[in-house]
């Protein structure tokens, strides 16, 4: 499996294709061999916990407040269109409320890993729309763990009533409040402790231990381990140099995270063909349209021009890691459909990202370079 991960990772660089999709397809191919493999499942759980832990490191409390002030109107529009309307479409196709909410969650979050990689690969990091795109990704990264926590709570709790929802939201708020308090008190001088630990092996056990422990505490409360890991990262976001934490944890995350996508692929069974093909096509079309609308309208709210807003919307269509995490909660036909949707949406999203500048130029015209009146010396 590790040799396969290496080859597919190398291949993804050569053909400029997301490795996440290749790992899922690898899992589909190995489904009969690795179905319900406990070692693979354990490795995948640690990998996804470390992904969310490192993600949480990017969000100090002050940074969250600054981003929220500027991006919240566009972020809420994104929640309504990508999650809410997708959920209504699923209900219209006869799904129950839980399955519809799950489908809405799958269709909601843009892939942070695919989008960030494409921004870098296509040399668009300095573009005017990039700040808006990254702000939307951050907003989604905050909402998606809460969606996951609610889905985990519903899927494991049997009957689920309004009081249960309030209790679940209360647990999420309490867990987040505890993380903020610990970050401001116990972990405020954590960087000094890291300076005293010279052996990298001990640093790895300490940092991964924090991530897994808080993730386990979240599980104990009936929430998602990824939410706990995300909040564990937030606890350490207040320290002076978070890159030291990232440098220590990144290699372990990079080793184990592909196993999560492979494990997800092994859980997809195509024995009965593609389930609900009409609904799948409608969901794909709407999810693309929704992100383009978020770019066009939300970008204007953010202060971008019409052309740049369209370019931003076309660059937000890929789905990836969050959708995979949410789809892993599903069972049966919904899980199979979710897997097909993620692969298709990621591929279409990549194509739209690559063509975004050309499409925007076609609609609004290419900016002509200003002519300068050059004078020959001595004239």
pLDDT per residue as tens digits for the range 147-205: 777 777 676 655 556 666 677 778 888 888 898 888 888 877 777 777 777 676 777 88
What average pLDDT does the structure give for the chain?
A: 82
Enter the tokens of residue 307.
């052309």
Band of pLDDT at residue 329, cut at 50, 70 and 90: confident
Q: How far apart are CA 222 and CA 154, in angstroms?
A: 10
Task: Give 368's DSSP letter.
Answer: P
Is residue 167 exposed (0-12), middle (13-18) or buried (19+ Cβ within 10 Å)? middle
CA 156, distance to chain mean position in Å, is 23
Across the range 340-347, mean pLDDT stands at 86
Residue 236, CA distances (Å) to 54, 78, 174 in order? 10, 29, 18
Band of pLDDT at residue 89, cut at 50, 70 and 90: very high
Please determine, for residue 369, whether its predicted confidence score (pLDDT) is greater than 60. Answer: no
| pLDDT greater at residue 165 or residue 332 | 332
| pLDDT greater at residue 121 or residue 111 | 111
pLDDT at 217: 92
Please determine, for residue 374, whether its predicted confidence score (pLDDT) is greater than 60. Answer: no
In percent, the amount of the chain with pLDDT more than 70 equals 88
Please determine, for residue 376, whether its predicted confidence score (pLDDT) is greater than 60. Answer: no
Across the range 118-135, mean pLDDT stands at 79
The two most distant CA atoms of the chain are separated, in Å, by 88
Across the range 33-42, mean pLDDT stands at 86
Please determine, for residue 371, whether its predicted confidence score (pLDDT) is greater than 70. Answer: no
pLDDT per residue as tens digits for the range 307-321: 999 999 999 998 877
pLDDT at 158: 54
pLDDT at 313: 93
pLDDT at 285: 95
Please determine, for residue 370, whether its predicted confidence score (pLDDT) is greater than 60. Answer: no
Please determine, for residue 106, whether its predicted confidence score (pLDDT) is greater than 70. Answer: yes
Q: How far apart are CA 349 and CA 320, in angstroms?
A: 10
Range with the largest mean pLDDT of 27-31, 124-128, 358-362: 358-362
pLDDT at 84: 92
Residues pairing with 319 in the sheet: 110
Across the range 349-354, mean pLDDT stands at 88
Please determine, for residue 71, whether its predicted confidence score (pLDDT) is greater than 60. Answer: yes
Among the listed residues 18, 115, 94, 107, the one whose alpha carbon sits nearest the alpha carbon of residue 324: 107
Q: How far apart are CA 44 and CA 275, in angstroms?
A: 26
pLDDT per residue as tens digits for the range 271-317: 666 778 899 999 999 999 999 999 999 999 988 899 999 999 999 99
Q: How far apart are CA 261 and CA 282, in angstroms?
A: 25
Q: How far apart are CA 185 and CA 108, in angstroms?
A: 35
The number of residues in the chain equals: 379
Across the range 214-231, mean pLDDT stands at 84
Helices 38-56 and 225-236: crossing angle in degrees, nearest 10, is 40
pLDDT at 270: 64
**Residue bearing tokens 């990039």:** 130
Are the CB atoms for 259 and 40 separated by under 8 Å? yes
| pLDDT greater at residue 223 or residue 327 | 327
pLDDT at 83: 92
Please determine, for residue 342, whether its predicted confidence score (pLDDT) is greater than 60. Answer: yes
Going from the N-terminus, what domains does the chain have, and what CATH number goes with each? 2-361 (1.20.1530.20)
């Amino acid at each position: 499996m590790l040799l396969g991960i290496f080859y597919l990772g190398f291949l993804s660089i050569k053909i400029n294709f997301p490795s996440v999709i290749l790992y899922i397809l690898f899992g589909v191919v190995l489904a009969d061999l690795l179905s319900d493999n406990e070692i693979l499942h354990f490795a995948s759980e640690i990998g996804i916990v470390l992904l969310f832990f490192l993600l949480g490191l990017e969000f100090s409390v002050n940074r969250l407040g600054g981003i929220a002030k500027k991006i919240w109107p566009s972020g809420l529009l994104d929640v309504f269109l990508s999650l809410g309307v997708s959920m209504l479409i699923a209900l219209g196709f006869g799904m129950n409320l839980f399955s519809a909410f799950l489908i809405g969650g799958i269709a909601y979050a843009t892939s942070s890993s695919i989008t960030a990689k494409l921004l870098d690969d296509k040399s668009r990091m300095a573009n005017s729309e990039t700040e808006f795109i990254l702000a939307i990704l951050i907003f989604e990264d905050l909402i998606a763990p809460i969606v996951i926590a609610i889905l985990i709570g519903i899927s494991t709790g049997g009957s689920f009533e309004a009081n249960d929802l309030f209790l679940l939201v209360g647990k999420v708020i309490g867990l987040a409040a505890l993380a903020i308090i610990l970050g401001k008190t116990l972990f405020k001088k954590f960087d000094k402790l890291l300076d005293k630990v010279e052996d990298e092996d001990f640093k790895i056990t300490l940092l991964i231990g924090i991530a897994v422990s808080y993730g386990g505490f979240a599980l104990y409360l009936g929430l998602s381990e990824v939410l706990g890991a995300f909040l564990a990262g937030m606890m350490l976001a207040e320290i002076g140099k978070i890159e030291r934490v990232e440098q220590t944890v990144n290699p372990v995350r990079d080793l184990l995270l592909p196993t999560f996508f492979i494990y997800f692929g092994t859980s997809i069974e195509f024995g009965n063909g593609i389930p609900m093909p009409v609904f799948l096509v409608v969901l794909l079309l709407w999810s693309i349209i929704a992100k383009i609308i978020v770019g066009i309208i939300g970008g204007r709210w953010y202060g971008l021009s019409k052309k740049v807003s369209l370019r931003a919307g076309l660059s937000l269509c890929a789905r990836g890691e969050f959708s995979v995490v949410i789809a892993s909660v599903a069972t049966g036909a919904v899980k199979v459909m979710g897997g097909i949707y993620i692969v298709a949406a990621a591929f279409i999203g990549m194509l739209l990202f690559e063509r975004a500048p050309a499409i925007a130029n076609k609609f609004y015209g290419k900016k002509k370079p200003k002519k300068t009146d050059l004078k020959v010396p001595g004239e």
